[in-house]
């Protein structure tokens, strides 16, 4: 009976050591995944901020310095590929990250939309100018639709920049 007790105790100790080892391994693996997620999201947000903060929609559309229509959501691949891991972050940080990326997507969608409106106005102007049926009122309608929305777009851009900065700050504090 004594041998059975020793084997039983020995087995329980082995089981306990295995469970504790697995818990420690999972803890460090979770920490590593969390740290990697934070670094990746922070890098992507900083890159987006560096690229888009200096842009002003009036400059883009008035002088055609950049073809905004070429912007796609592929610039947020880190977020897209890791959105299911946001639960590794604190609720406040996860919310700040989602808010920043939602605003980024909305701003980029707005820029793409305005770019298409402006491109349509230019194409209309070229086609109708050549055929001598140019209608300046319709052209102005297209262009003014873009230009009169600058205040909204500037506001969107400023609130997006602030949301990105907040998300980066939250990620730094994780």
pLDDT digits 0-9 by tens, 134-147? 666 666 666 666 55
Confidence bin at 9 (pLDDT 50/70/90): confident
| Distances from the Cα of 106 to the Cα of 1, 99, 148, angstroms | 73, 11, 18
Q: How high does pLDDT run on average in the chain?
A: 77
Give yes or no for a contact between 122 and 63, defined as CB atoms under 8 angstroms apart: no
Domain count, the chain: 1
> Which spans in the chain are helix H?
2-52, 57-63, 77-82, 91-130, 136-147, 150-172
pTM beyond 0.75, yes or no = no
The rounded distance, in Å, linking the Cα atoms of 56 and 113 is 15
pLDDT digits (tens, 9 = 90+) for 55-109: 655 454 443 444 454 555 577 889 999 999 999 999 999 999 999 999 988 888 8
- Owning domain of residue 107: 2-172
- Of the two residues 61 and 2, the one the predictor is more confident about is 2
What is the per-residue pLDDT for 75? 76
């Amino acid at each position: 009976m004594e041998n059975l007790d020793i084997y039983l105790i020995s087995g329980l100790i082995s089981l306990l050591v295995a469970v504790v080892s697995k818990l420690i391994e999972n803890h460090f693996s979770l920490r590593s995944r969390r740290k990697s997620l934070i670094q990746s999201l922070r890098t992507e947000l900083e890159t987006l901020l560096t690229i888009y903060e200096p842009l002003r929609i009036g400059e883009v559309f008035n002088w055609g310095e950049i073809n905004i229509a070429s912007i796609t959501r592929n610039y947020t691949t880190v977020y897209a590929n890791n959105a299911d891991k946001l639960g590794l972050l604190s609720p406040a940080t996860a919310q700040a990250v989602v808010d920043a990326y939602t605003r980024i997507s909305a701003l980029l969608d707005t820029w793409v939309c305005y770019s298409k409106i402006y491109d349509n106005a230019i194409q209309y102007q070229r086609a109708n100018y050549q055929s001598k049926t140019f209608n300046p009122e319709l052209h102005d309608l297209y262009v003014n639709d873009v230009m009169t929305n600058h205040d909204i777009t500037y506001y969107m851009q400023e609130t997006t920049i602030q949301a990105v900065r907040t998300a980066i700050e939250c990620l730094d504090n994780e």
